[in-house]
Each structure stands twice: as C-alpha cells, then as structure tokens.
Amino acid sequence: MTRHPRALAVLGAAVVLAAGPARASGGLELVPEPQRLIFLLVLFLVLVPLLNFLLFKPLLGVLEERGRRIEGARARAAELANRAAALVAQHEQAVQAVRQASHQERARFVDEARRAHQGAIGEARGEAERRLAGTRDEIGAALEAARAQLRSAAGPLAREAAERLLGRSLS
C-alpha cells in the first residue's frame, strides 16, 4: 500500500479541496469531513492487509486447491476414459479373434462332415454296386438256367404242339 505515496497524497489533497464546494451545495455531502475521511482511510489501510491475510489469501488458497483437485480429477477421468477405451478395443479384438477362430473351427467341422458324408456315400455306392453286380450275376445265372431248362423242355413241347396241331404222332 505504501508503493505510491505521492499518488496517495494527491488523492488526499483532492478530497480535502473538494470538501468545501461539496458542503456549499446544500444537503448532499459527497466527501465526508476530513477527520472522518482520515479515519476511514486508516480503517481501510488497517483492514485491507488484515482481511487479505485472514480471509482473502485462505479463500483464494482453497479455491486454487479446489481448481487443482478438479484438474487432477479431470486428468484422472481422462486417463480412465483412455484406459477404458483401450480395454474396450482389446475386448473387441479378443471377440473378433474368438469369432474368427470359431468360424474356422466350424468350417473345419463342416469339411470333416462333408468328407465323412462323401465317404459314407462312396461306401454305400460301392456296396450297392457290389450287390447290384451280385444280383446281376444271380439273374444271369437264373436266366441261363431258365434258358437251359427251356431248351431242354422246348423240344418235347414243340413235338407235342406239332402233334396236336397235326393230329397225329410225329415219331
């Protein structure tokens, strides 16, 4: 407060000099009496450092500490948000990897099932062809037996039919 004593003296002189015309204007008093003014200035000069020490500095200190805490909390929140984003990205990658692995596993199972199915079809086809060949052989043998039986029975049947048609015996 004592940095500018000259400015303080000029201010005090201006107040004292302006006190006379202010009293002459009637009932309105813009500048108090010099004794009261000096008392108020002394009171002001005593209270400002006292209030600054007792009230303003602690209050500003608390506000600054609050600001630091808020900034710290914001920084921690940003860090946690970044970590959460990293964990979410890591989780998404893990899920994607599991999906890809399950897709590959499913494709492998489908391929194995197709190969097994093709193998079963091949075996069934082979068995069916073997049975068909066996049945053809049986039918061929039965046909040959029937032909042989017909050949052996054809001569006497033809003779009998001719005898009946001719009405006489051919022997």
Give the side-chain half-sphere CA count within 13 A for 84: 6
Residue 11 domain-assigned? no
In the prediction, which pLDDT does 1 show? 46
Residue 79 domain-assigned? yes
Residue 140 domain-assigned? yes
Under a CB-based contact definition with an 8 Å cutoff, are residues 37 and 31 in contact? Answer: yes
In the prediction, which pLDDT does 164 show? 84
What is the phi/psi pair of residue 168, to 5°?
-145, 170
Cα 134 from Cα 157, distance rounded (Å): 33
User: Structural domain tally of the chain?
Assistant: 1
In the chain, which ranges are continuous DSSP H helix?
5-24, 34-51, 57-166
DSSP string, 45-58: HHHHHHHIIIIIHH
User: Which domain does 150 fall in, by range?
Assistant: 31-154
In the prediction, which pLDDT does 94 show? 95
What does pLDDT average to in each consecutive run of 10 residues of the chain (171 residues)? 64 65 59 84 92 92 96 96 96 96 95 94 93 92 88 82 81 68
- CA dihedral defined by 90, 91, 95, 101, rounded to 10 degrees? 40
Residue 121 domain-assigned? yes
Residue 83 is encoded by which pair of tokens?
A: 């970590």
In the prediction, which pLDDT does 99 show? 96
